[in-house]
Amino acid sequence: METLRRQIQEVTGLTLNAAQMAAFQRYEQELLAWNARFNLTAIRDVPGIRSKHFLDSLTCTLAWGKNPPASLIDIGTGAGFPGIPLKIACPSLKLTLVESVGKKVAFCRHIVETLNMKNVTVIQARAEELGQHRDHREAYDWAVARAVANLPILAEYLLPLVRTGGVALAQKGEDAPAEAHAAERAIQVLGGKLRKLTPVELPGVADDRFLVVIDKVHQTPPGYPRRVGLPAKKPIV
């Protein structure tokens, strides 16, 4: 874990203490154990978990610098990425994890309980449902997602959940510049404005990575997000 601690500091500037690194070690152990029984993630080896899950999740902190948001919602979190690593690194974060697959929801709840995390809510739902729910609509400082959908679709999942003045953050691969261009109208319609694309380099990972940072500049029109499945079937173009 010492190598991971060093890489976290080198890539993100975060200095994690022994308790935080112990939390990552326990998270890793539980993920390996659950993955042996349930297909939670395609990445099953320790080096892959540390670089492509833990470290990759923590690169989100590059988008907010030294001022983490008070509240964050993670859409399509899967086995807890990027939300749970961000919570370990930023304990003050009020975190909501959203996932539609039951076994992944069960794992996230297990990890939250195992690591004795406070101010973490795990919800089994679709983003389209939450975006129209009064308790969640425009309620969060930041909304994040990783590897969930193309950006025109993802914008419709994330931006309705973010308060005006907040931020939507998408972790994307090498197609991020093209996706951002294709999502320009969707972002505008949904109340957002593209701030920047930040390239991210992970040790030992050749693939290009980007953080797509979108500011919420005005309220999302009430018709968005549309009903479940429609954003993916008919993206805003």
CATH number of the CATH domain containing 195:
3.40.50.150
Structure confidence at residue 231 (pLDDT): 96
CA distances from 224 to 47, 115, 160, 227 (A): 40, 36, 7, 8
Residue 217: other Cβ atoms inside 10 A: 14
Q: Which structural domain, as residue segments, surrounds residue 69?
A: 2-233
Read off the amino acid at residue 117. Answer: M
Query: Residue 188 burial by CB count (10 A; 0-12/13-18/19+): exposed, middle or buried?
Result: middle
Low-confidence stretches of the chain (pLDDT < 50) are none
Read off the amino acid at residue 92. Answer: S
Which tens digit of pLDDT belongs to each residue from 43-102? Answer: 888 998 999 999 999 999 999 988 999 999 999 999 999 999 999 999 999 999 999 999
Structure confidence at residue 86 (pLDDT): 98
Structure confidence at residue 42 (pLDDT): 87
Sheet holding 120-124, edge to edge: 120-124, 94-99, 71-75, 140-146, 162-172, 209-216, 192-200
Q: State the helix-helix crossing angle for 2-12 and 18-37, rounded to 10 degrees.
A: 110
Q: How far apart are the first and last CA of the chain?
A: 45
Structure confidence at residue 205 (pLDDT): 84
Counted domains in the chain: 1
Structure confidence at residue 103 (pLDDT): 96
Structure confidence at residue 204 (pLDDT): 83
- CB within 8 A of 40, min separation 6: which ones? 31, 34, 78, 79, 103, 104, 107
Q: Tell me the two tokens of residue 194.
A: 């593209």
Q: Tell me the two tokens of residue 215.
A: 């500011």
Task: Tell me if 160 sits within 8 A of 166, measured CB to CB.
Answer: no
Structure confidence at residue 114 (pLDDT): 98
DSSP 8-state class, residue 59: T
Half-sphere exposure of 109 toward its Cβ, with a 13 Å CA cutoff? 10
Helix ranges restricted to H, 38-118: 46-48, 56-58, 61-64, 83-89, 102-114
